[in-house]
Structure 1
Amino acid sequence: MSTVALKEAELPLAADDFNALEQRVLRTIELLKKEREARATAEQNAATLQQLLDEQSLELSRTQEQVRALEQEREAARQRVERMLKQLDEISA
């Protein structure tokens, strides 16, 4: 068999291999694009959730401060009522 005949027989196989490789590369590129889009979406969702978490943390701090203030007001009112009751007891006695 001549060298030319041998090279011609190898070319179709090489072309098929090249086409298969090209298809694999194209599929890999598509997968990469999809993964990048998914990553961008996930990062955007994470940023949105972080912002919501920060807002909720701020709201929690405000609510905790309000609760402390209300507890202090309640304690002050309790002490005043106790003093008035004590004064009433002293008047009655």
Structure 2
Amino acid sequence: MSTTATTVTVDELQALEQKVLRAVEIVRKEREERAAAEAKVAQLTQQLQSLREQLELQQMETQDVQTQVESLKGERENVRGRMEKLLEQLETL
């Protein structure tokens, strides 16, 4: 039976340690960036919801204004008709 002895030099161990530390740093940085991105997504989602609510309110207000305009147009036509009748009556006098 032959046994192969593996010897690791101090330089190899230090190189491995540096690689592990770099990997840990990369993972830490990626986690921080992910957390920041998730926070930004949450903020933007909240802003989007707020904008949607504002848009919905504006649409409701626009609908109310359109209804009022239509009502006023109807009233105007009614008044116009009455005024025309009155003018016709005045002309006959």
| TM-score (ref. length: structure 1) | 0.90
Superposition map of 1:1-93 within 5 A: 3-4=6-7, 7-8=8-9, 9-91=11-93
Q: Which runs of 4+ in 1 moved over 6 A?
A: none
Residues 20-74 of structure 1, C-alpha deviations (whole Å, 9 max, x = no match): 1100110000000000000000000000110010011000000000000001100
The sequence identity of aligned pairs, in percent, is 27
- Tell me, in whole angstroms, the C-alpha distance in 2 between the residues paired with 1:60 and 1:53: 10
Taking only aligned residues, the RMSD between alpha carbons, in angstroms, comes to: 1.1
Q: What's the offset of the Cα at 1:10?
A: 1.7
Say which structure is richer in helix: 1
Q: Which runs of 5+ in 2 are unaligned?
A: none
SS in 2 for 1:36: helix
| TM-score (ref. length: structure 2) | 0.90
Q: What's the offset of the Cα at 1:3?
A: 3.9
1:52 is matched by which residue type in structure 2?
Q
